[in-house]
Amino acid sequence: MAGERLDKVLAGSLPDYSRNRLKAWVEAGAVMVDGKVTKARYLLRGGESVKVFPQEMPEQFAFSPENIPLEVVYEDDSIIVINKPPGLVVHPAAGNWSGTLLNGLLHRFPELKSLPRAGIVHRLDKDTSGLMVVARTAHAQTALVRQLQERTVGRRYLAWVWGDAPSQGKVLASVGRDQRDRLKMAAGSPQGKPAATLFRRIAKGNVENAPVALLECRLETGRTHQIRVHLESLGFPLVGDPVYRKKAPGVAKALSFDRQALHAFALSLQHPVTQELQTWFRLPPVDLINLLPQVGMSTHDLPEEGVVLASIKNEVRA
């Protein structure tokens, strides 16, 4: 092994562990050559003693219960409705193996450990707040997934956008991975999936003469970043969006708001057991309430629960 790099020697000697895991152990100081911590690219001379101290990896805690505060809006034997705060990741993944909604659900509802993804059937972006439904049984999970596939789950969002948005509209554009930036999604992507977003303007405001609009958005599909991508494609990027902001005006920097101004405020579905149409409504969290006067709006511009529920019932009858 003389003349070989340490990381290559480790990979050949410990085939049960991935190269990335072994490299992480080296960088964490858990691999010693002749009693000293070194680098992964260290060249061995021959005759050294190499000791490896296996470390637990973050992903090992991905499905561990954690005492994370959750606002439970509704629960029964079949479903749970959560009002997710901004900043909370829904599902463990690279970079967020703990501290997620899933970890919190497993702590509060231990029986969810027997369900795929702990009963989670749809997601919200980390910095999007609002209502989500979680299944509590296998039957409920299957029924909710079917409703999502059939597009009968009603999901309504409040979105604050830059620009003079029209009174209403519909965006029909596929959403898929951006070919130039794999961390972003793009509207009209040839490899994307069909997506549809309906919106109506419910208030207008401005920041230093730059127009702002408050939109109610309704999803017909549920693609990753769908609302953010669709509205930016029309020239109406979300206020505070750190990713899709190329079309945001220069005065955007004047606002002290650093997440996409997006809140899932209404959720409706057919209960998987009783078949009853159920609807839940939650006003935006405090950071969005505090944003209102900054963009020339007030709480009077927000939709009222009764009006929203009546609208949903009329749509169902139609």
Distance in angstroms (rounded) separating the CA atoms of residues 318 and 300: 29
* Closest C-alpha to 204, from 241, 243, 167, 231: 167
* CB 122, CB 157: distance < 8 Å: no
Which of the following is catalytic: 125, 127, 241, 287? 125
Provide the token pair at 214: 């408050």
Distance in angstroms (rounded) separating the CA atoms of residues 190 and 304: 39
Helices 6-13 and 19-27: crossing angle, nearest 10°? 130
Our answer to whether residue 125 is catalytic in this structure is yes
* CB 62, CB 92: distance < 8 Å: yes
Pairing status of strand 277-281 against strand 168-172 = unpaired
Distance in angstroms (rounded) separating the CA atoms of residues 254 and 270: 43
- Classify the C-alpha dihedral 87-92-94-99 as positive or negative: positive
Count of CB atoms within 10 A of residue 96's CB? Answer: 16
Amino acid at 74: Y
Which residues have a catalytic role annotated?
Answer: 125
